[in-house]
């Protein structure tokens, strides 16, 4: 964050404020509610991120205390190389403002350190909650604009808030959180206990706020006080918020879904006034869990109990059933319901912190996904005439961005003998790198249907190879310098946990036996979308180093949602064969993935010749993956 420290003539304190950068300025620097705020973005320097932009939008996130932040979008006007925008600050509860700038999909957010201003009162003093509002963002990293985490700065902001407003309850709660885990002496602990006792007295008539203190008493070692407080409140109000929370507390730690469902059933019966949002989130989670376990009847039972029907969960259940080939008629009805719900999404459902364009894109994606599921169900039931318009609508809603929907649309066109259209759509998807492994086989069928032979299909194969390599080359050129800098900064030297795992033929591979080689360990699952997106590029890297005995790629299949070792192996073997991938696959029974503390897949670890983890990457961020992996591998081979 940009920092500026000053001394007031009336009150001596330091405060956070916006400091002008070389290419951004915002006035006034001490805005008040009702002020007109002017934002300026100077792009005369070619190194400025949005220097070549044809249009720029200034984004302001207004933090409003207990309310969700409010996103304000202001299209900027250009004069030479200078862009400006103005808006009025009308939110009465505004605490602090964060700014970033966007052109198309490129964001200038000051490297995740957004330009920030406090809101001031009529006495030119930051309003109550300004510093603590910023501290909340800094404590864990920004949830909405993605600002960097800075715990020490967060502590400094809380100190300033309490200097200005010693009785600010929210600031005091965060102060205790910040210092609860630190090494404490009796004096420190006494101060935290005194603070919590003061807050407990202040919140005695507000159970929701009082409940926040139970955990804090435990954090500072006052477990008896925490327990006594909870028991006392429940005794006084056995149907209140404390009692609800105590009943619901075991839910997320309960591994057995039937037992978790019983907790929710009891909570709904015991507390008829249970908050709708609480009930909604728990029931959605049950639908998700039962769906993953393929207990589809139970998933539907809880789906129908949602206080507010949600197209996302109707689609998730329907899609999983279609993929499993289970009760396609029922799955198609659930998918139709998902389509109807997603078509009925209205603008008043937009979260306050969302950009309008993001809301519209998200709504389109939800609709496209549910149409895709419905279309796929119709395809599997061989209702090709009905499937085609549904998949066409899905294709349009997604703007051709979903490889699976694209491929199924080509299938529907081909089955309905619209061979020319199928070829046109298929080639367009290949050219945009929005195809899956099955689309080429479907295109072959379309060429044979149109020409009576597959002779012209060679054009599609050539285009596929060219488009793929062009995407990699373009990504490499655009990101080479960044990647080089990134891999130098991110080099680690942590000992890789050894493991021995088997492939589908039963052949064992031990990591430590590969010392002296560079090893890529990639955790993945067949249901994981980003894994599937990354695999063509992993295959490309595998083929590049296939003849190099000093480089090994191991894809560790884990977190599969089907049960039984043999079923998991057959599922992976089918997936690899269908997609024509040839890199080695090992099977992890959710053990190695835990030792490596993997939080999401795909996650790749590149291990150096000494057996140390040199690089870690999570997720898939496009064709630049190839350039990044190649640079990392080459650097490690030289060591």
- Taking 80 as the threshold, does the pLDDT of residue 515 lie above it? yes
- Taking 90 as the threshold, does the pLDDT of residue 103 lie above it? yes
Q: Place 71 in a pLDDT band, splitting at 50, 70 and 90.
A: very high
- Taking 60 as the threshold, does the pLDDT of residue 40 lie above it? yes
- Taking 80 as the threshold, does the pLDDT of residue 17 lie above it? no
Sheet with 82-88: list strands edge to edge.
Answer: 24-27, 36-42, 82-88, 77-79
Determine how many CB atoms are found less than 10 A away from the CB of residue 336: 18
Mean pLDDT of 97-121: 92
Q: Place 470 in a pLDDT band, splitting at 50, 70 and 90.
A: confident
Q: Place 10 in a pLDDT band, splitting at 50, 70 and 90.
A: very low
Separation CA 411–CA 423 (nearest Å): 10
Nearest to 92 by CA among 112, 56, 67: 67
Burial grade of 523 (CB within 10 A; 0-12, 13-18, 19 or more): buried
Express each pLDDT in 601-612 by its tens digit. Answer: 999 999 999 999
Average pLDDT of the residues of the chain: 90
Is residue 303 within 8 Å of 317, Cβ to Cβ?
yes
Q: What are the φ and ψ backbone dihedral angles of 519, each rounded to 5 degrees?
A: -120, 130
Taken in order 521, 525, 531, 534, the sign of the CA dihedral is positive
Mean pLDDT of 460-488: 73
What is residue 182's predicted lDDT score, i.e. its pLDDT? 65
Mean pLDDT of 489-493: 82
Mean pLDDT of 176-205: 85
Bridge partners (DSSP) of residue 519 are 552, 607
Separation CA 25–CA 18 (nearest Å): 9
Determine how many CB atoms are found less than 10 A away from the CB of residue 356: 11
- Taking 80 as the threshold, does the pLDDT of residue 347 lie above it? yes
Task: Name the least confident of 163-177, 435-449, 603-617.
Answer: 435-449
Mean pLDDT of 530-553: 92
What is residue 1's predicted lDDT score, i.e. its pLDDT? 34
- Taking 90 as the threshold, does the pLDDT of residue 186 lie above it? no
What is residue 497's predicted lDDT score, i.e. its pLDDT? 93
What is residue 542's predicted lDDT score, i.e. its pLDDT? 94
Residue 581: its H or E element: none
Greatest alpha-carbon pair distance for the chain in Å reads: 89
What is residue 391's predicted lDDT score, i.e. its pLDDT? 97
Quote the crossing angle between the two packed helices 419-431 and 457-489, to the nearest 10°. 20
Separation CA 210–CA 372 (nearest Å): 47
| End-to-end Cα separation, the chain, in angstroms | 38
pTM of the model: 0.78
Q: Place 141 in a pLDDT band, splitting at 50, 70 and 90.
A: confident
Q: Place 319 in a pLDDT band, splitting at 50, 70 and 90.
A: very high
More confident residue, 147 or 66: 66
Residue 162: its H or E element: helix 151-164
Express each pLDDT in 360-413 by its tens digit. Answer: 999 999 999 999 999 999 999 999 999 999 999 999 998 998 989 999 999 999
Task: Name the least confident of 7-11, 366-370, 555-559, 632-636.
Answer: 7-11
Q: Strand, helix or coil at 31? A: coil
Quote the crossing angle between the two packed helices 624-637 and 457-489, to the nearest 10°. 50
Q: Place 140 in a pLDDT band, splitting at 50, 70 and 90.
A: confident
């Amino acid at each position: 964050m940009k920092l500026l420290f000053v001394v007031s003539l009336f009150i001596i304190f330091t405060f956070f404020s916006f400091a002008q950068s070389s290419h951004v300025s915002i006035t006034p620097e001490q805005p008040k509610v009702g002020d007109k705020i002017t934002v300026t973005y100077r792009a005369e320097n070619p190194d400025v991120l949005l220097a070549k932009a044809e249009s720029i939008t200034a984004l302001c996130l207004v933090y409003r205390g207990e309310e969700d932040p409010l996103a304000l979008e202001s299209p900027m006007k250009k004069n030479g190389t200078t862009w400006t925008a103005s808006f009025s600050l009308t939110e009465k509860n505004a605490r602090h403002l964060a700014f970033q700038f966007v052109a198309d999909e490129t964001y200038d957010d000051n490297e995740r350190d957004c330009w920030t201003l406090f809101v001031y009162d009529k006495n030119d003093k930051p309003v109550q909650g300004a510093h603590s509002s910023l501290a909340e963002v800094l404590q864990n990293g920004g949830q909405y604009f993605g600002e960097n985490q800075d715990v020490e700065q967060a502590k400094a902001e809380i100190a300033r808030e309490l200097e200005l407003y010693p009785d600010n309850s929210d600031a005091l709660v965060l102060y205790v959180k910040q210092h609860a885990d630190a090494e404490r002496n009796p004096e420190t602990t006494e101060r935290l206990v005194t603070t919590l006792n003061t807050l407990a007295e202040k919140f005695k008539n507000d159970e929701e706020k009082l409940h926040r203190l139970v955990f804090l008493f435990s954090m500072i070692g006052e477990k008896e006080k925490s327990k006594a407080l909870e028991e006392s409140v429940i005794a006084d109000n056995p149907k209140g918020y404390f009692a609800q929370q105590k009943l619901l507390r075991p839910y997320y730690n309960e591994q057995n879904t039937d037992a978790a469902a019983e907790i929710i059933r009891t909570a709904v019966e015991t507390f008829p006034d249970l908050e709708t949002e609480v009930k909604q989130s728990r029931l959605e989670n049950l639908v998700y869990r039962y769906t993953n376990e393929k207990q589809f009847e139970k998933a539907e039972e809880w789906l129908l109990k949602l206080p507010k029907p949600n197209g996302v969960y109707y689609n998730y259940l329907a899609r999983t059933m279609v993929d499993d080939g289970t009760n396609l008629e029922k799955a198609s009805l659930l998918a139709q319901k998902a389509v109807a719900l997603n078509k009925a999404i209205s603008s008043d459902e937009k979260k306050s912190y969302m950009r309008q364009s993001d809301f519209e894109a998200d709504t389109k994606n939800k609709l496209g996904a549910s149409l895709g599921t419905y279309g796929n169900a119709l395809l599997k039931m061989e209702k090709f005439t009905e499937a085609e318009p549904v998949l066409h609508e899905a294709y349009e809603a997604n703007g051709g961005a979903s490889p699976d929907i694209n491929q199924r649309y080509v299938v529907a066109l081909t089955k309905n003998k619209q061979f020319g259209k199928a070829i046109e759509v298929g080639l367009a998807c290949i050219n945009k790198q929005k195809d899956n492994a099955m689309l080429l086989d479907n295109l072959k069928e379309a060429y044979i249907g149109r020409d009576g032979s597959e002779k012209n299909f060679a054009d599609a194969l050539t285009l596929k190879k060219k488009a793929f390599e062009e995407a990699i080359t373009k990504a490499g050129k655009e990101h080479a310098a960044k990647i080089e800098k990134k891999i130098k900064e991110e080099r680690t030297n942590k000992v890789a946990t050894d493991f021995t795992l088997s492939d589908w033929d039963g052949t064992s591979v031990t990591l430590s036996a590969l010392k002296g080689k560079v090893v890529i360990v990639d955790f993945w699952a067949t249901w994981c979308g980003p894994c599937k997106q990354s695999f063509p590029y992993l295959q490309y890297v595998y083929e590049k180093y296939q003849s190099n005995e000093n480089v090994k790629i191991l894809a560790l299949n884990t977190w599969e949602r089907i049960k039984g070792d043999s079923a998991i192996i057959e599922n992976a073997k089918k997936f690899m064969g269908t997609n024509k991938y040839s890199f080695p696959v090992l099977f992890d029974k959710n053990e190695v993935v835990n030792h490596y503390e993997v939080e999401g897949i795909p996650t790749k670890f590149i291990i150096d010749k000494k057996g140390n983890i040199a690089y870690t990457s999570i997720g898939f961020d496009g064709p630049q993956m190839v350039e990044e992996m190649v640079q990392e591998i080459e650097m490690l081979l030289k060591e």
